[in-house]
Chain A
């Protein structure tokens, strides 16, 4: 820190000299020019740019060595249910020096450990390549989330999150790589974590210690392999006015140990691009806006490295809204509709084995839709079962962009045991499950078709534990206004 200040001081002095002496200005400029040339020709990795030389913020990488570093404060995630008293600074069990951080992770149902450590003394972290620390636990544990880059001022623009970090009962050093340090010249969020028992059998009621938390230039964090959409090459149909969020953003580095370390990272680390900006444009935050018809390929780079994964968007122009439902909320138990309050939340991407389906929820003119691409079979899993004893129909609106598309729908009652049970050979329900199957046919390209499906067949007499809709066929279609009702 003092070195950096000295350097800045020298530069100021030099500037004064330049003011006084013309000849000196000339020679100075030459030197600076030579500097620039040498940098570009001999450097074999990204060096600090000329501007970064004049960075305002100290290149102080320390977070917690034996005590809070300069300007550091503790901000527990109290609103989210974190226990603010779970954190203490201790001197009885440290890796080195006189102090360490201790977190008492509560048992299941008693909150969690969650906090960010931010500094009021903004840091220039662009010269480092990793956040490192020593940690141990009173029992083997997996930390749900740990990282850096939480900042209220920037809406976590450069957040980094490592999931499932395994900690054992010995002090060991851990490394969280920086995806692209050149972005981090003005940072406040130096360290954060969230860990708790997510279910009854999950580990809880134990102690975590951290020591020597700091940003470092290890020199061995290398072989970057960024990904968007988890490295998959996706395609999706869309329409003007809708937007799609780029998901599955990660950066993977090979560490000096030879281990690969993958972190989930904020979109702002990437440079996104669209192959046709008259069709789709991408914001710095990874939001794709569809603005015209045609096709566009969305790709990304991170620090000059092409990210694995892409999205090919086919836009057919504007999408009109589906007919507005007319029943009152009292007559309806809704799964997916902007017109009604949901009766239950649902999982729209169950990830069935063998499924090729890509599902997204684009919006157009403030209306949300369920868009299915390349479907063979997927489903909508209700988080809580729906008791449809007093209801008689399922409503769904379907939109297709080409003729000849048929979609199969299976309404599944999962029975009193609340478990989906299916014969894996035939796909039919077994044990206490029942279903009713209905084909959505005679769909006209370029318009919405509404279906009123009776709760008939095997579920006519068993519809008090509706747990899922299974969706087959297509492969490309859009759904909206999925709700059970009685007229």
Chain B
């Protein structure tokens, strides 16, 4: 029943969009088509549309605060806070803001939200519609981390699925990656995806994975650009166990993006229109 209902809705929207495209397609080439034909999991489990102004919904989101160990393991430069200057919901969008300011010994502040202990799931379709920041040293991420079974397991054994990473000095390129035992950090397995005649910091794009037993499919908008299976990783496949939780953050500096330079403009924002999680209604 559910399937039928969704099918009808999709058909409707396709028909409507078709009309719009026929009439006005030659004038408007910038509207992003949100219909995820590359994704098959359609049973919505959790969605945050960020429609309530103020702090994000505390039933879904918690925070990492501070600088972690060694800049969250990456020599990152920011101090994460849960202040409204760094994280707020306005006009239907979650805004994570990286600021250049002296704060508790750090030179930058930003925010990192996570659903640990609030929403965790094994397998599913995880997607977010986001507009990314730009400039050297900016490093936004939308990713999943395996539950650590109350601290009995450690990274990379717990597994990490990076749905979207991006560095602000390459505004047309994002990458999706997995980390596990024997393939973590610099040896992680993933792939970049580059936009043609467009960039990630000027409009919203959908970043997602569809994750099932023995596979993770990566997509951006309506493009399926990678599939990772146990055959692709040189170590144990750690993605068929336990639930994973969601992390959304905007890092500044660190090993991957390098430090901001004098041309980097602050503040910078990561805008999130929605985060949606689906499960496969067939099993």
Contact = CB atoms under 8 A, between A and B. Distances in A.
Interface of A: 34-35, 38-39, 42-45, 47-48, 217-220, 222-223, 225, 254, 256-258, 260
A258 B136 contact: yes
Nearest 8 A/B pairs, CB to CB: A219-B197, A258-B169, A222-B202, A44-B30, A220-B199, A256-B172, A219-B198, A258-B170
A254 B172 CA distance: 11
Contact of A217 (B23, B196, B197): B197
B28 interface: yes
Contacts of B201: 222-223, 254
25 contacts: A38-B23, A38-B27, A39-B24, A42-B20, A43-B30, A43-B31, A44-B30, A44-B31, A218-B197, A219-B198, A219-B199, A220-B172, A220-B197, A220-B199, A222-B134, A223-B201, A223-B202, A225-B265, A254-B135, A254-B171, A256-B172, A256-B199, A258-B136, A258-B169, A258-B170
B31 A42 contact: yes
A342 to B, nearest CB: 39
Nearest to A47: B27
Given A35-B27, A258-B171, 20 more contacts: A39-B24, A39-B27, A39-B28, A42-B20, A42-B31, A44-B203, A45-B30, A45-B202, A48-B27, A219-B197, A219-B199, A220-B198, A222-B134, A222-B171, A222-B199, A223-B201, A254-B135, A256-B172, A258-B136, A258-B169
Contacts of B134: 222-223, 254, 258
Interface residues of B, number: 24
Interface in B162-201: 168-172, 196-199, 201
B231 interface: no
B2 interface: no
A13 B135 CA distance: 50
B4 to A, nearest CB: 29
Given A219-B198, A220-B197, A223-B201, A42 B28 contact: yes
A127 B31 CA distance: 17
Interface string B3-27: 0000000000000000010011001
A34 B27 CA distance: 13
Nearest to B30: A44
Nearest to A222: B202
A43 B28 contact: yes
Contacts of B168: 258
B263 interface: yes
A42 B265 CA distance: 29
A260 B197 contact: no
Nearest to B173: A258
A53 to B, nearest CB: 9
Nearest to B199: A220
Contacts of A39: 24, 27-28
A260 B263 CA distance: 8
A54 B216 CA distance: 50
B24 A35 contact: yes
Nearest to A48: B27
A219 B196 CA distance: 8
Nearest to B197: A219
Nearest to A44: B30
Contacts of A220: 171-172, 197-199
Contacts of A218: 197
A279 to B, nearest CB: 32
Contacts of B30: 43-45
Given A225-B265, A254-B171, A47 B28 contact: yes
Contacts of B170: 257-258
Nearest to A262: B263
A38 B263 contact: no
Contacts of A254: 134-135, 171, 201
Contacts of B136: 258
Interface string B230-272: 0000000000000000000000000000000001010000000
B283 to A, nearest CB: 38
Interface in B27-51: 27-28, 30-31
Nearest to B202: A222
A198 to B, nearest CB: 26
A57 B259 CA distance: 47
Contacts of B28: 38-39, 42-43, 47
A256 B263 CA distance: 15
Most chain B CB atoms below 10 A, which of A47, A258, A260: A258
A48 B171 CA distance: 25
B20 A38 contact: yes
A35 B196 CA distance: 27
A439 to B, nearest CB: 40
A47 B23 CA distance: 16
A46 to B, nearest CB: 10
Contacts of B135: 254
Contacts of A217: 197
Nearest to A45: B30
Contacts of B203: 44
A225 B263 CA distance: 11
Contacts of B31: 42-44
Contacts of A256: 171-172, 199
A414 to B, nearest CB: 35
Contacts of A47: 27-28
B239 to A, nearest CB: 32
A194 to B, nearest CB: 26
Contacts of A258: 134, 136, 168-171
Contacts of A42: 20, 24, 28, 31
A177 to B, nearest CB: 13
Contacts of B20: 38, 42
A217 B135 CA distance: 22
